[in-house]
Amino acid sequence: NAGVTQTPKFRILKIGQSMTLQCAQDMNHNYMYWYRQDPGMGLKLIYYSVGAGITDKGEVPNGYNVSRSTTEDFPLRLELAAPSQTSVYFCASSLSSGANVLTFGAGSRLTVL
Amino acid sequence: AQKITQTQPGMFVQEKEAVTLDCTYDTSDQSYGLFWYKQPSSGEMIFLIYQGSYDEQNATEGRYSLNFQKARKSANLVISASQLGDSAMYFCAMRAGAVYGNKLVFGAGTILRVKS
């Protein structure tokens, strides 16, 4: 099993550019999440989804958009990139019941210059 | 609102000794879950241990144990017999109640350095 796969691993953007971070999971998890981790800090929730077609905002959604057309995929769209979006982005997934341990992807390091 | 506080920005421990990483939480929910994750320098997030609010026994997983003190709202991670490979950032996180989406709230983390 691949678990949670994120692409790309690294990306440099110019201010104002847009891009999509891809996330796919093969564990048939209903719940998926996008977190960002700024240097030396904990993770903050950007968006989450409880199933295909259902998404909702987390703590820091401004400047981002998501979609969930399938159970497996949960892409994160950055529109009009800003230096404040320089961060490491983690995608995660979990089952919809029980302890709900989150399984994380390897992370995507984004730099906006 | 749920909040996790990790008051130790960094800790040092001698190899083979035990170390406790502190975590306090704040929630008004009766049902919640507490998690610890490890983030080595390579960056991935590794799940270590889970404690449910109704669990009567403290959780243990190998060299990891969770010292759960409900009245004090603390969920400290104890690592026994520290190894060099334990050097990493450690995050405490909480899932509170029947929160829609079972979202986790994370603390700021504690960097642990194991000395040989």
Asked if residues B21 and B8 have their Cβ atoms less than 8 Å apart, the reply is yes
Residue B90, φ and ψ in degrees, nearest 5: -120, 130
pLDDT in tens, B1-45: 789 999 999 999 999 999 999 999 999 888 889 999 999 999 999
* pLDDT tens per residue, range B36-71: 999 999 999 999 999 999 998 999 999 999 999 999
pLDDT reading at A12 higher than 80? yes
Query: CB A99 to CB B50 under 8 A?
Result: yes
pLDDT digits (tens, 9 = 90+) for A76-85: 999 999 999 9
pLDDT at A44 over 80: yes
In the prediction, which pLDDT does B109 show? 96
A100 to B95: CB separation less than 8 angstroms, yes or no: yes
pLDDT of A31 > 80? The answer is: yes
Task: Judge whether B64 is closer than 8 Å to chain A, CB to CB.
Answer: no
Read out DSSP for B62-74? TTEEEEEETTTTE
Q: Do the Cβ atoms of B103 and A58 come within 8 Å?
A: yes
Element spanning B48, H or E = strand B46-52
